[in-house]
Amino acid sequence: MKFKDSKIIVVVPVYNEEEIINNIITNLKKKLINLNFKIIILNDGSIDNTLQKLEFFESDDRIIIIDKDNEGHGKTLVKGYDLAIKMDVDYILQIDSDDQIPLDELQKLLVYINNYNLVCGYRYERNDPFIRILITNILKLVILIRHWVYIKDSNVPFRLITRDFLKNNLHKIQNSKVPNILLSILAAKKNELRQVKTFHKKRETGIESIRRFKLIIFCIKSFLEILKFKSH
């Protein structure tokens, strides 16, 4: 099946992105203009005017807006994935709403989707604070030691997934704080993961939902989850 003939669901978790969310959704629609797509936007309890900004798209039948209490990025993703696989769809595209990975990079993923169940970018020149880059490097080592797979960027929020792969593995990540990392591990174990270089911009708007001490605590809990995870 050619990708242009496929049905795509885009899952976009959103938290406090009032400055940029309309541009992100508008640009995404332009990039997918020739495809059969729907976009699921999950507002994860934003405390700014993100939800009011999203009202602009309420009349667009290609866009589904879910307003929910704040549960964190992981649980929000799982909810979006669950909704997506219940629909008549071939692929799920997951992006974040911070615009750090340009949508032009999507073409790089499409090259490989017929041969892999999970194709995602890796941020080869990552424009994030040092602590986040350090955590990613530690994560590579943890995954390699525990699961015997080397993944360059296991939590990158720019990924294209086949519906069958996601459906078959959703129950394994249902309660995870880091579902994308676990999906990357599962795909890598079966040689179904492909990562390609993607450009990464500095964050210009919004506020990272997990910072400073909370980030450290989150990482400790996530690493423990990864160590306990059974990938076979």
Give yes or no for a contact between 118 and 184, defined as CB atoms under 8 angstroms apart.
Answer: yes
Give the pLDDT score at 1.
57
* Residue 205 lies in domain: 3-228
Looking at the 3D structure of the chain, how many domains does it have?
1
The predicted structure's pLDDT at residue 148: 96
Give the per-residue pLDDT at 217. Answer: 83
Residue 118 CA to residue 156 CA, distance in Å, equals: 12
Please state, in angstroms and rounded to a whole number, the distance separating the CA atoms of residues 11 and 109. 16
Structural contact between residues 149 and 189, judged by C-beta atoms closer than 8 angstroms: yes
Position 2 scores a pLDDT of: 67
Task: Summarize pLDDT for 4-52 with one digit per residue, the tens.
Answer: 778 999 999 999 999 999 999 999 999 998 889 999 999 999 999 999 9
- CATH code, domain carrying 32: 3.90.550.10
* Residue 45 confidence (pLDDT): 95
- In tens digits, the chain (232 residues) has pLDDT values of 567 778 999 999 999 999 999 999 999 999 998 889 999 999 999 999 999 999 999 999 999 999 999 999 999 999 999 999 999 899 999 999 888 898 899 999 999 999 999 999 999 888 888 888 888 899 999 999 999 999 999 999 999 999 999 999 999 999 999 999 999 999 999 999 999 999 888 877 655 555 556 778 878 888 999 999 998 7
CA distance 183 to 77: 12
Return the pLDDT at 99.
Answer: 83
CA distance 31 to 145: 39
**What's phi and psi for 164, nearest 5 deg?**
-60, -40
Q: Residue 200: exposed, middle, or buried by beta-carbon count in 10 A (0-12, 13-18, 19+)? A: buried
- What is the pLDDT, as a whole number, of residue 220? 84
Q: Which helix (H) or strand (E) covers residue 160, if one does? A: strand 158-162
Can you tell me the distance from the alpha carbon of 95 to that of 69, in angstroms, rounded to the nearest whole number?
A: 20
Q: Is the pTM of this model over 0.85?
A: yes
Q: What is the per-residue pLDDT for 202?
A: 84
